[in-house]
Structure 1
Amino acid sequence: MTMDHAAIRVSNLDDSLAFYRDVFGYEPVERFEESDAVSDTFVGVDDQAVIQLVEADGPVEPSDGGHLGLSVEDVDAAVAELPADRVTRGPETIEELDIRIAFVTDPDGHVLELLEPV
């Protein structure tokens, strides 16, 4: 079994779409509206959805410890695109796992773990 996508609630769909496009190159794959109050957009690469952004009708509160792990080609390049206050840890190499990682936050404070094999 493989994961199809992860869904997160966002306070401003346009801001989140811009963030995921600018930092990760994710583009809208599918967008639908369940009602006048609920709008969802799946974003990903090459028509493969990775994250479902669900526009919230109230404040968004990311949970402690929860995060999305995203593979990137170059952790340092991805972090370089971000304001310093979005980077919460790294980039750093974890030699025993043969990965380079960084933890960053999106516009709503969701924690994203960026992973690059080394």
Structure 2
Amino acid sequence: MAGSEAVPSEHVLEWAQKDKRRFLHAVYRVGDLDRTIKFYTECLGMQLLRKRDIPEEKYSNAFLGFGPEESHFVVELTYNYGVDSYDIGTGFGHFAIATQDVYKLVEGIRAKGGNITREPGPVKGGSTVIAFVKDPDGYVFELIQRGPTPEPLCQVMLRVGDLDKSIKFYEKALGMKLLRKIENPEYKYTIAMLGYADEYETTVLELTYNYGVTEYTKGNAYAQVAISTNDVYKSAEVVNLVTQELGGKITRQPGPIPGINTKITSFLDPDGWKTVLVDNEDFLKELEKKE
């Protein structure tokens, strides 16, 4: 960070607001790749976009979603050889899928033996129809009834210990916008939706604060979200400044990944949730090579 004193911090922070960003993927670990692929494609309606095996590192990946990675948010599943189960912990909440008919989707999931943990119906005190299902590893998916959307894989929900601090962190470090905040004193929680566009058009981060709960266990199952950036170096500078003010830390300095050459930087938020920022152009080049 030599010479950074010469640049006023507000100019550094401006970069996060100007940068072109979108959610790329959520990374998490599963105990049986083929079993999860089968559930996501047959029950949830996702497409298997690509699969790769890295025997020298003893793991395999599968990428699934509702459209190509160039334009859609996808899940990146990781299978580590010989590990068949993980601890999801208490902090990870759920992923969400928007569908035009929750009842029909649940019917199909049930017919294939899926685990429905909340039957379809309106949310308490509201009219939006939702349901909850669990995948074979125990990850929860909320199904939300909604009109046609370009991005059905629409939410990642994480629990946090200080909502206002987290909102400020994601606004300043990642240039997200606070789309809405919902207080629910009756059920003792508050949620905040953050993202880069309207939540009916794109993927959002849903942060949940449960009254009086400041810490959660992370487990070893959910890993991170990846977000695109036009400049990992400038983005890391922003994150570095924000972590000094609000907590969190950079876990990987910006630079290319050996062997792939895609430039990334990664960091933890004040609760220890990990985000990876990926160079936009490098990411698209990487996808071209996978064709």
Superposition pairs of residues 62-73 of structure 1, within 5 angstroms: 62-64=218-220, 66-73=223-230
Separation in 1, partners of 2:217, 2:259: 33
Q: Equivalent residue for 1:60?
A: 216
Is 36-45 or 89-98 further displaced after alignment?
Answer: 89-98
Q: Equivalent residue for 2:191?
A: 40
- 3-state DSSP of counterpart to 1:33: strand
Q: Any stretches of 5+ residues in structure 1 without a counterpart?
A: none
Q: Report the AA paired with residue 52 of structure 1.
A: E
Q: Report the AA paired with residue 183 of structure 2.
A: E
Q: Report the AA paired with residue 42 of structure 1.
A: M
Separation in 2, partners of 1:26, 1:71: 12
Deviation digits for residues 1-56 of structure 1, max 9, x if unmatched? 25212111110000000000001111111222333420111101132452001113
Contact 1:27–1:44, Cα closer than 8 Å, also in 2: yes
- 3-state DSSP of counterpart to 2:154: coil
Q: Equivalent residue for 1:93?
A: 256
**Structure ID, larger Rg:** 2
Separation in 2, partners of 1:112, 1:80: 15
Which TM-score applies when normalising by structure 1? 0.84
Contact 1:87–1:105, Cα closer than 8 Å, also in 2: yes
Is 88-97 or 38-47 further displaced after alignment?
Answer: 88-97
The structure richer in strand per residue is: 1
The structure richer in helix per residue is: 2
Contact 1:104–1:112, Cα closer than 8 Å, also in 2: yes
Question: 1:99 offset after TM fit, Å?
Answer: 2.2
Q: How many residues align?
A: 118
Which TM-score applies when normalising by structure 2? 0.37
Q: Equivalent residue for 1:25?
A: 175
Contact 1:62–1:108, Cα closer than 8 Å, also in 2: no
> Relative CO higher for 1 or 2, CA cutoff 8 Å, sep ≥ 6?
1
- 3-state DSSP of counterpart to 2:254: strand
Separation in 1, partners of 2:261, 2:154: 25
- 3-state DSSP of counterpart to 2:205: strand
Across the aligned residues of Structure 1 and Structure 2, the Cα RMSD in angstroms comes to 2.2
Separation in 2, partners of 1:63, 1:103: 19
